[in-house]
């Protein structure tokens, strides 16, 4: 029976080409807009290599300090100092592990092999041994630098696959050396390339921050602020409140002997909030989400209203057909099922067309999209090469597409079922009357 419905629906679609084209176009435009927004949020929050457990991550990027003496009206905000990281984050009992990364964005790094003078500009990340526990990198050769190597400031580093191929085209990088800014480094491991959109984990070279001469440097008062940001891996995705409470307890204990209060500005953030946080500006993630939902509803409802009017017009033209089918005993449920299957076929075609349009839009407006996803996109010359931003694996995502398709299907079904239900309720006489007017 269902198969027969589909065959009849397909014949009706072929017979009404203009209606079908308009319907497919309306569905395609709606689903393409939804897909663009869905992909945007997926890139911000989805589990993407090597950040495969983003739902368990919390982020603390900076802090603000104010004097406890209320007669003073000064404040300062910046990243955290190593002193603050050690006192408040490294020993969290409610979390699995925390890693700290040294901010060196303005520094330029160039590398070449021992027997070459041709420099390649690279992006580096100074971090700790816990970094490899928080982010799930795939090691193609070797292993990460150990805690002992980190503590001893041994220049053993991990490099990306693309950089390994550039520096050591023979394929073997482990045990080799290269020069970076006139210093010699030893390759300890090679990892599979990651997208530069994942700025918390991306680099060409990862090395112990104990190698950086200024890693203990602080500024402002009492050594609270410095150049570190922290990523925390929770034991379970539902531990946010417990970890946050322990962090604030640690901050209170740490600041009890200081003359300044420490404010984390609403942090720790989950991955979504962290992706929208800009400096020390106030962040209202609910307001941001409400705006996106409003835009999403417009993208969905405007085509739905137009399609509903189109369906109503079409139902009027099909009154005689439905009257004949009723006269031969077809119940209302059969007529409705036929219309809904026809709508499903049109929505399915529109969904795939919309999918192609969304990929086209992402390609055309990639610069705008990438600038909203990663601060590293402003330095494309350095981060690109063999590494990439949006990969096919990010775009061809069944979960994202299925969510957008279900949303479009629900809206399109409502736009079809309401006029269809109204017209199937007409009696046979009205349906067969050529002079019937609504």
Q: What is the rounded distance in angstroms from the CA atom of residue 290 to the CA atom of residue 292? A: 5
Q: What is the rounded distance in angstroms from the CA atom of residue 83 to the CA atom of residue 81? A: 5
Residue 11 contacts residue 341 (beta carbons within 8 Å) = no
Residue 107 burial class via C-beta count within 10 angstroms: exposed 0-12, middle 13-18, buried 19 and up: exposed
Q: What is the rounded distance in angstroms from the CA atom of residue 272 to the CA atom of residue 249? A: 24
With a CB cutoff of 8 Å and minimum separation 6, the contacts of 294 are none
What's the confidence (pLDDT) of residue 1?
Answer: 52
Q: Helical H runs in 204-317?
A: 240-255, 271-276, 285-317
What's the confidence (pLDDT) of residue 282?
Answer: 80
Q: If DSSP codes are grouped into helix, strand and coil, which group holds residue 60?
A: strand
Q: What is the rounded distance in angstroms from the CA atom of residue 77 to the CA atom of residue 379? A: 25
What's the confidence (pLDDT) of residue 366?
Answer: 60
Question: What tokens appear for 99 in the block?
Answer: 């890693």
In 3D, which of 300, 228, 240 has the Cα closest to residue 269? 240
- Complete DSSP assignment for 162-230: HHHHHH-TTS--TT-EEEETTEEEEEEEEE----TT-TTT--SEEEEGGGSTTTT--BSSTT-EESEEE
Q: What is the rounded distance in angstroms from the CA atom of residue 198 to the CA atom of residue 162? A: 16
Handedness of CA 164, 170, 171, 172 (dihedral sign): negative
What's the confidence (pLDDT) of residue 425?
Answer: 62
What's the confidence (pLDDT) of residue 378?
Answer: 47
What's the confidence (pLDDT) of residue 316?
Answer: 61
Q: If DSSP codes are grouped into helix, strand and coil, which group holds residue 76?
A: strand
| Nearest-5° Cα angle at 285, 279 to 287 | 120
CA 25 to chain centre: 28
Residues paired with 324 in a beta bridge: none
In 3D, which of 9, 32, 20, 23 has the Cα closest to residue 353? 32
Residues paired with 63 in a beta bridge: 78
| 35-to-358, 372, 396, 400, 424 alpha-carbon distances in Å | 6, 16, 11, 7, 34
Tens-binned pLDDT, residue by residue, of the chain (438 aa): 556 555 655 666 666 677 777 777 777 877 777 777 888 888 888 888 999 999 999 999 999 999 988 887 788 999 999 999 999 999 999 999 999 999 986 678 999 998 887 888 898 999 999 999 999 999 999 999 999 999 999 999 999 999 999 899 888 999 999 999 999 999 999 999 988 888 899 999 999 999 999 999 998 889 999 999 999 999 999 999 999 999 999 999 999 989 999 999 999 999 999 988 888 888 888 888 888 888 877 777 777 676 666 666 666 666 666 666 666 666 666 767 777 777 777 777 777 887 788 777 776 666 555 555 555 544 544 544 545 566 666 666 677 777 777 777 777 777 777 666 666 665 555 555 544 444
Residue with tokens 């002193």: 83
What's the confidence (pLDDT) of residue 427?
Answer: 58
In 3D, which of 107, 109, 101 has the Cα closest to residue 208? 101
What's the confidence (pLDDT) of residue 435?
Answer: 43
What's the confidence (pLDDT) of residue 318?
Answer: 60
Q: What is the pTM of this model?
A: 0.79
Q: 176-215: per-residue pLDDT in tens? A: 999 999 999 999 999 999 888 888 999 999 999 999 999 9
The helix, strand and coil proportions of the chain, stated in percent and rounded to the nearest 5, come to 50, 20, 30
Virtual CA dihedral for 122, 128, 129, 132, nearest 10 degrees?
-60
Q: 388-438: per-residue pLDDT in tens? A: 566 666 666 677 777 777 777 777 777 777 666 666 665 555 555 544 444
What's the confidence (pLDDT) of residue 438?
Answer: 44
Handedness of CA 190, 194, 198, 203 (dihedral sign): positive
Residues paired with 142 in a beta bridge: 189
With a CB cutoff of 8 Å and minimum separation 6, the contacts of 137 are 50, 144, 158, 191, 192, 194, 201
């Amino acid at each position: 029976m269902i198969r027969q419905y589909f065959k009849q629906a397909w014949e009706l679609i072929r017979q009404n080409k203009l209606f079908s084209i308009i319907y497919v176009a309306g569905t395609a435009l709606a689903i393409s807009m939804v897909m663009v927004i869905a992909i945007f949020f997926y890139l911000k929050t989805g589990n993407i290599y090597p950040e495969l457990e983003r739902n368990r991550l919390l982020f603390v990027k900076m802090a603000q300090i104010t004097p406890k003496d209320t007669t003073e009206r000064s404040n300062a905000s910046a990243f955290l100092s190593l002193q603050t990281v050690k006192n408040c984050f490294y020993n969290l009992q409610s979390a699995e592990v925390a890693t700290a990364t040294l901010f060196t964005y303005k520094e330029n790094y160039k590398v070449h092999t021992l027997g070459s003078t041709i420099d390649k500009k690279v992006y580096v990340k100074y971090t700790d041994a816990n970094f490899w526990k928080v982010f799930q990198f795939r090691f193609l050769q070797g292993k990460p630098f150990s805690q002992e190597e980190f503590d001893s400031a041994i220049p053993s580093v991990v490099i990306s696959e693309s950089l390994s191929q550039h520096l050591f085209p023979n394929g073997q990088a482990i045990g080799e050396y290269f020069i970076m800014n006139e210093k010699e480094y030893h390759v300890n491991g090679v990892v599979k390339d990651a997208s530069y959109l994942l700025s918390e984990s991306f680099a060409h070279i990862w090395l112990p921050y104990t190698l950086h001469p200024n890693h203990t440097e602080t500024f402002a008062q009492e050594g609270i602020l410095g150049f570190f940001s922290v990523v925390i891996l929770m034991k379970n995705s539902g531990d946010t409140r417990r970890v946050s409470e322990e962090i604030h307890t640690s901050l209170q204990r740490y600041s009890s002997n200081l003359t300044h209060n420490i404010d984390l500005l609403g942090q720790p953030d989950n991955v979504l909030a962290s992706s929208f946080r800009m400096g020390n500006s106030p962040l209202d993630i609910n307001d941001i989400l409400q705006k996106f939902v409003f835009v999403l509803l417009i993208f969905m409802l405007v085509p739905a209203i137009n399609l509903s009017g189109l369906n109503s017009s079409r139902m009027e033209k099909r009154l005689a057909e439905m009257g004949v089918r009723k006269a031969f005993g077809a119940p209302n449920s059969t007529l409705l099922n036929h219309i809904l299957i026809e709508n499903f076929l049109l929505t399915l075609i529109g969904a795939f067309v919309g999918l192609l349009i969304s990929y086209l839009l992402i390609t055309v407006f990639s610069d705008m999209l990438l600038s909203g996803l990663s601060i590293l996109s402003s330095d494309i010359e350095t981060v690109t090469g063999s590494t990439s931003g949006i990969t096919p694996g990010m775009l061809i995502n069944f979960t994202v597409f299925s969510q957008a398709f279900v949303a479009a299907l629900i809206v399109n079904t409502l736009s079809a079922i309401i006029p269809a239900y109204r017209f199937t309720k007409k009696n046979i006489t009205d349906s067969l009357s050529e002079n019937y007017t609504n």
